[in-house]
Amino acid sequence: MPDIGSVWSELGGDPALLARVSTVVRPGALPARLPVRELARACVGACALAAAELGAHRAGRVEVPRVTVDDGAVATAFTGERHLLVDGRAPQTFAPLSRFWRTADGWVRTHANYPHHRARLLHALDVPEDPAAVGSALRDRPALEVEEAVYGAGGLAVALRTPAEWAAHDQAAALATRPLVERVRLDTSRARALPPLDGTPLLPAAGLRVLDLTRVLAGPVATRTLALLGADVLRLDAPHLPELPDQHADTGFGKRSATLDLAAGRDRFEELLAAADVVVTGYRPGALDRFGLSPEALAERRPGLVVAQVSAWGAYGPWGGRRGFDSLVQVATGIAAVEGSAERPGALPAQALDHGTGYLLAAAVLRVLTEQAYGDAAGGGRLVRLALARTAAWLQDGSPLPEDGAAADGAEVGTVPYDGPARWLAETDSPVGRLRYARPAVSFADGPHDWARPPGPWGADAARW
């Protein structure tokens, strides 16, 4: 069963620091058959503790600040894209063709939010952009046949599997051999010294430069969290692949956004890399290697770099090179079967694999920064790597749900009713309009309570530090 103690151990953290974490348990938040609330609490708590630990080192404090994890704040953040309003308008979270469909022998789920994915789906099925036509094309075909045909066309469709069916899959076997948080040393060079911090709020990532090469949703959650903690985050996108505006507004808090053609703008990228401390990538494994952006190639050109990678299925196994999203991983790994009924598949109450993995990725970055600067084996470039499907396995580890009010690691606990997200929502003006948004869930004593800047338009900033 997911808990902060197990993930803190995977992050290499000192177990004694778990005593600094307090939890406000709110029964009713993120209701599900699987322990979603416990996973969300553990991911946010580990991230907040990693931030507090790094901040204490940089500020020269003897004690790590106390961390508070509130189920209400966590639940609101994990469903933040649903609470977003832009000038009073609620965004569309899934396009009409991103949904479950009946097939001849079961179900598939498609993902067609981006225009290029939608076009590939329609091409694979040889139908016009019409839900009725898509449904008709799918009803007479086996689910696994659809999965392979759409994948072969570069689109996204995944067949519904039970947990047992996924456990028998070669990709599940590959995932089972890997830790939840992979940590690899890339070189032995000295890391850049982190200057001391003074004053409040305590910003553990202040002065760090983060290149953000991520898209939906785990990667942007991780870099948005690093921005909250003081990092200078520059998101880079290819000019021909614009982000969905509402999605960018939701995950763009605290960041700058620029476009850069990695082939034509190679010199500019190398200038950015030379001054970067962290590079975060969220594209399918291998997709950026042709631009010299594999972890090993990055570390060779910028010794001491922290490289953080997140993918849907992992960077190994037969599905290692496949595209994927949270909704599809839920379907493949058996989560949708568990959360559904005999009549129809279900879903988690949030895109919890995306959000949870995003917070874990940020936590992993913070922990390796601490190890680089203050650990027994200081220095050295590091790679941290997570996968949504591995997080899904952690969620489904088979342990029973705890009684409400129970918390791992002997943390101080209070239990109060969950009365909805209202107290954890805020509003602000921004260059993209008046925004209602979920406030940060990461919280520790003397830490930041909100982002220093609202999101701006996609690609509006210069590609420079």
Residue 424 has pLDDT above 50, yes or no: yes
Taking residues 82-108, report their average pLDDT: 94
165 contacts: CB under 8 Å, gap ≥ 6: 334
Share of the chain above pLDDT 70, in %: 97
CA angle at 288 for the pair 287 and 290, rounded to the nearest 5°:
100
pLDDT confidence band for 94 (50 / 70 / 90): confident
Taking residues 153-175, report their average pLDDT: 97
pLDDT at position 403 is 52
pLDDT higher at 18 or 93: 18
| Nearest to 357, CA basis, from 392, 409, 327 | 392
CA distance 219 to 359: 9
Number of neighbours of residue 438 by Cβ within 10 angstroms: 22
80 contacts: CB under 8 Å, gap ≥ 6: 250, 437, 438
DSSP string, 436-458: EEEPP---BTT--SS-SS----T
Beta strands in 312-378 (DSSP E): none
Residue 408 has pLDDT above 50, yes or no: no
Side chain identity at 301, as an amino acid letter? R
| Nearest to 157, CA basis, from 174, 178, 141 | 141
Share of the chain above pLDDT 90, in %: 85
Taking residues 252-274, report their average pLDDT: 96
Taking residues 174-202, report their average pLDDT: 91
pLDDT confidence band for 38 (50 / 70 / 90): very high
Bond preceding residue 431 cis, omega within 30 of 0:
no
**Partner residues linked to 438 by β-bridges:** 425
Beta strands in 194-291 (DSSP E): 209-213, 232-237, 255-259, 278-281
Taking residues 238-244, report their average pLDDT: 90
CA distance 390 to 311: 10
The secondary structure element, H or E, covering residue 372 is helix 352-374
Give the Å distances, CA to CA, from 332 to 22, 164, 169, 313, 387: 35, 11, 10, 10, 14
Model pTM above 0.85: yes
> Does residue 413 sit in helix, strand or coil?
strand
375 contacts: CB under 8 Å, gap ≥ 6: none
Which two structure tokens, joined as six digits, stand for 184?
């690899």
Q: Label residue 73 left, alpha or beta by phi (over 0 means left) and psi (-120 to 50 means alpha).
A: alpha
Burial class (CB in 10 A: 0-12, 13-18, 19+), 269: buried
- pLDDT tens-digit profile of 286-315? 888 889 999 999 999 999 999 999 999 999
pLDDT confidence band for 21 (50 / 70 / 90): very high
Give the Å distances, CA to CA, from 201 to 48, 190, 197, 425: 14, 28, 10, 20
Bond preceding residue 201 cis, omega within 30 of 0:
yes
Taking residues 84-91, report their average pLDDT: 95
129 contacts: CB under 8 Å, gap ≥ 6: 97, 118, 122
Taking residues 150-162, report their average pLDDT: 96
Taking residues 363-373, report their average pLDDT: 96
Residue 401 has pLDDT above 70, yes or no: no
Residue 189 has pLDDT above 90, yes or no: no
Which two structure tokens, joined as six digits, stand for 396?
């489904």
Backbone angles phi, psi at 155, to 5 degrees: -95, -170
Residue 262 has pLDDT above 60, yes or no: yes
- pLDDT tens-digit profile of 430-445? 999 999 999 999 999 9
Rounded to a whole number of angstroms, the CA Rg of the chain reads: 21
CA distance 10 to 101: 38
| Nearest to 220, CA basis, from 196, 241, 237 | 237
Is-contact 277 306, C-beta < 8 A?
A: yes
pLDDT at position 409 is 44
Which two structure tokens, joined as six digits, stand for 38?
């416990």
Residue 405 has pLDDT above 80, yes or no: no
3 contacts: CB under 8 Å, gap ≥ 6: 38, 42, 408, 409
pLDDT confidence band for 417 (50 / 70 / 90): confident
Residue 399 has pLDDT above 60, yes or no: no
Which two structure tokens, joined as six digits, stand for 270?
């190398």
CA-CA-CA-CA dihedral for 141, 144, 148, 151, to nearest 10? 100
Side chain identity at 19, as an amino acid letter? A
- Pairing assessment for the beta strands 182-185 and 382-387 based on DSSP bridges: antiparallel
- pLDDT tens-digit profile of 268-282? 999 999 999 999 999
Is-contact 388 218, C-beta < 8 A?
A: yes
pLDDT at position 419 is 92
Taking residues 377-389, report their average pLDDT: 91
